Amino acid sequence: MYMKKLFALMAVCLLALVTGCGGSQNASETKSSSSQEPVELHVSAAASLTDVMNEIGADYEKEHPNVKVVFNYGSSGALQQAIENGGNADLFFSAAQKQMDALDKKGLLADGTRKDLLQNEVVLIVPKEGGKDITSFDQLTSGQLQHIALGEPKGVPVGQYSEEILKKLGILDAVKAKAVYGSDVRQVLAWVASGEADAGLVYATDAAVSNDVRVVAKAPAGTHKDIIYPAAILKDTKHLDTAKDFLAFVSNDKNKERFAKYGFEVK
């Protein structure tokens, strides 16, 4: 009788041990599975980064099948405002320091994640076909030009740089009299490409991706602040590790070459 009780007790212990091991294995599997749960990474980026960032995002998704990179392109000012108003963003790539500084002052950036990524320059463009025969910024005051496309200076960095250049050259008021203002640099580019504007000021990288415009002049040296593109992770991100990994991926050697291909100077 004693032996029967002993064997029964041993059987119960053995069953508990097996069950415990099984529970541990399931927990491990659950943990492993959860690490591969789909992640939707929201990236707010300046419009001038559209082409190159689309390529980078596609490559990142190939290497990380569980991550979907969702881009929101626009003027840096509009993106900054959206982030301040609680818009869904994990990372911000700005075309100027001003907008990133504003977010930094409000404590909206994740500590230690801000970095200067790229540098650009402003150029004067005209339509490739049938464009006016101008070769310098000074000729923007010419009577032969009726519409000059600029970025809206309050929220569009290229517009802010453009006003800085024109003011330095002493022709800002004359140009403003015939200026049409775009909501971002790509709208300025489109107006010139279509011939709706006689000339426009855009980044060199935007001019490089269009076959319908030609660059007639670069902004003279010393007429504007350095055009630096900073990037940072937002403090409220729910995917900090993925955001850090993506930012590091954007900065790797392969993508530095990709940025250079699009005309950016890599920092």
- Asked whether residue 243 falls in the same domain as residue 156, the answer is no
User: Would you say residue 30 lies in a domain?
Assistant: no
Could you tell me what percent of the chain has a pLDDT over 70? 87
pTM for the predicted model, two decimal places: 0.80
User: Would you say residue 198 lies in a domain?
Assistant: yes
What domain range is 211 assigned to?
122-218
Contact 127, 267 (CB under 8 A): no
**pLDDT above 60 (res 15):** no
Per-residue model confidence as pLDDT tens digits over 30-45: 333 335 789 999 999 9
Q: For the chain, what is the mean pLDDT? A: 89
- Asked whether residue 147 falls in the same domain as residue 198, the answer is yes
- Asked whether residue 83 falls in the same domain as residue 210, the answer is no
User: Would you say residue 21 lies in a domain?
Assistant: no
What is residue 171's predicted lDDT score, i.e. its pLDDT? 98
Residues 6+ positions from 264 with CB-CB distance below 8 Å: 52, 118, 119, 120, 205, 229
User: Would you say residue 27 lies in a domain?
Assistant: no
Domain end (from 200, 218, 236): 218
Residue 150 sits in a domain whose CATH number is: 3.40.190.10
- Asked whether residue 211 falls in the same domain as residue 181, the answer is yes
User: Would you say residue 179 lies in a domain?
Assistant: yes
Selected residue with higher pLDDT from 217 and 25:
217
Listing from the earlier edge strand, what are the strands of the sheet with 179-182?
A: 179-182, 148-151, 199-203, 122-127, 213-218
Per-residue pLDDT, averaged over 212-220, amounts to: 96
| Confidence category of residue 132, pLDDT binned at 50, 70, 90 | confident
User: Would you say residue 127 lies in a domain?
Assistant: yes
Planar angle of CA 76, 235, 231, nearest 5 degrees: 40
- Asked whether residue 114 falls in the same domain as residue 129, the answer is no
User: Would you say residue 14 lies in a domain?
Assistant: no
- Asked whether residue 114 falls in the same domain as residue 233, the answer is yes
- Asked whether residue 149 falls in the same domain as residue 132, the answer is yes
- Asked whether residue 130 falls in the same domain as residue 212, the answer is yes
Domain count, the chain: 2
- Asked whether residue 131 falls in the same domain as residue 177, the answer is yes
User: Would you say residue 68 lies in a domain?
Assistant: yes
Residue of 43, 46, 92 whose CA lies nearest to 68: 43
| Longest Cα separation, the chain | 115
Euclidean distance between the first and final Cα of the chain, in Å? Answer: 83
- Asked whether residue 162 falls in the same domain as residue 238, the answer is no
What is residue 141's predicted lDDT score, i.e. its pLDDT? 96
Per-residue model confidence as pLDDT tens digits over 191-206: 999 999 999 999 999 9
- Asked whether residue 113 falls in the same domain as residue 128, the answer is no
Selected residue with higher pLDDT from 49 and 5:
49
- Asked whether residue 237 falls in the same domain as residue 106, the answer is yes
